[in-house]
Structure 1
Amino acid sequence: MDYDRETIGASTGDRRRVLRAVGRILGVLLAVAVVGGTLVLCAGAFLVGVLADDTGYSEPRTAVDWMQAIDRATSALMFAAGALAVALVVTCLIAVAGAFARRTSWTVIGVVCSALLALAIVSVSVSGQVESLVARATSAVGNVPAVAPIPSPPPAPDTLTVDDAREEMLVMLSTTIDAAAAPVTTADGSPPIGDPAQLRAAPCGEVGSRLALTTELATADNAASLVAILAAWDAAGYLPDRAVQEDIRYSTTLPVERLSIRDKSTVDGLLHVSIQSACAVAGG
């Protein structure tokens, strides 16, 4: 029985010695990993800080290329600073744990590694390489505004008065008659005249009026007159449009807003002309 107790005690002691030896080996390996990892991180951060403004074998040629280079440098520095910050938290925890466990070696390792990481973070933050890269980019492409200045708004157009609209409508009626193939008459065979009494007014907007004029013309050649009238309207600055069996000219800036002509030669032998002004107000 005594022999068995001695055998068991010896076996237990051997096991404890083995466990302590394994623990020491693991502790050494962990210490080497912590110190080595800290040195590698600090060296890598130093290289990132030094090489952050490196643009490779050839410098960028355009503003976009410079912006991409600056973005890459900024991202690299931020990544390095983030990795150092995480490692700093870990080493601080190691130092605190070593102090609580009264393990002087781990406390020293944690404090030293934390100091190295803190210095690396400071060096990355104040490296100034991004500012150097920005200065090079500014020197290469200039410092013009990235967005063109907003142009000043165009002056507001003069308000169209009823008198101006009436005058322009009569001018366009006269232009229409002059362009047609002579002789030109109205539906009842009388010569066409530009009479303001022919204009009809309809309300528009809040206080405006829109003038309208319709007339029927008989010409020596309605088909040729149609082509000549449209050409005269084009020359006056109106834009072309077309509806069903109706040719239209229009403008968004001129006093006359819309002109239209319809050839009804096969029906009544006449060209039906309509002229409409833009919205106008009474003159002051």
Structure 2
Amino acid sequence: MNFFLETLVSGLLAGVMYSLVAIGFVLIYKASGVFNFAQGAMLLFASLTFVTLVEHEIPFWLSLAATVVVMIIGAALIERLVLRPLINRDALTLFMATLGLSFVIEGLAQLLMGSDVHMLDLGIDDIPISIGGLSISQFDLFASGSALAIVLALSILFDRTRMGISLRAVADDTLAAQSIGIRLPTIWRIVWSVAGVVALVAGLVWGARQGVQYSLSLVTLKALPVLIIGGFSSVPGAIVGGLLVGATEALADIYIGPLLQGSVSTWFAYILAVAFLLVRPAGLFGDRAIERV
């Protein structure tokens, strides 16, 4: 029984790390209704910037603050050079813009910081600790706490502030939001800045786990089933989706993998996502599209 519980808990904690990546996608989608293909590149750029500053013997917290400033400046440039010329264009056009943007960001990162693999130490050892008789990774607990803190802060932003109401209005109907005085460029700058900070946190967590390298941007592929299950427009849904993906993936790898004579963790989450698409296309917490004719 202990083995089952430890597998379940480790899967849940791994799922929270998937959720960290998925939250960045949710933020952009809530503000523009567009799937931001460049989120993985932003994650890579943020983590590379931080680790490069640390390697140049800049103190940890100063490097963190400087990286946040870089991501905010990047968000302002993206809004001015990419998004503003595409205001009121359809979602497919904006999606293609983020696709091109991802290659630009990755190329810029390689030009400025090289393509070497960097090791990242956050000062938190990945060692097991005993909680209630279960052996749980100390690093996974830290990652989970970070994700929950971000979810709490973003939930307050979206549900309790005027800015959150403006974000939802822009996502629902861009033209109507502009007609009542909501400044779309300002909203986009803010939401891309927040998404950049979330990408930084996710990049630090994943970079500390597997090293800061260009394959780090591929971790966003794990966010896709999380988004499908939780819903593209829900921050809490990203957490729930991540927990479901992490738990089922870990349990399936232990109990189903031996029957198939191989690992199922690489594809099981996508099978689960397809099942949700068939039963609940909007996800558990996603907003169902209502079309009036």
TM-score of the two chains, using structure 2 as the length reference: 0.21
Larger Rg: 1
Higher-RCO chain (CA-CA 8 Å, sequence separation at least 6):
2
> Higher strand proportion, which one?
1
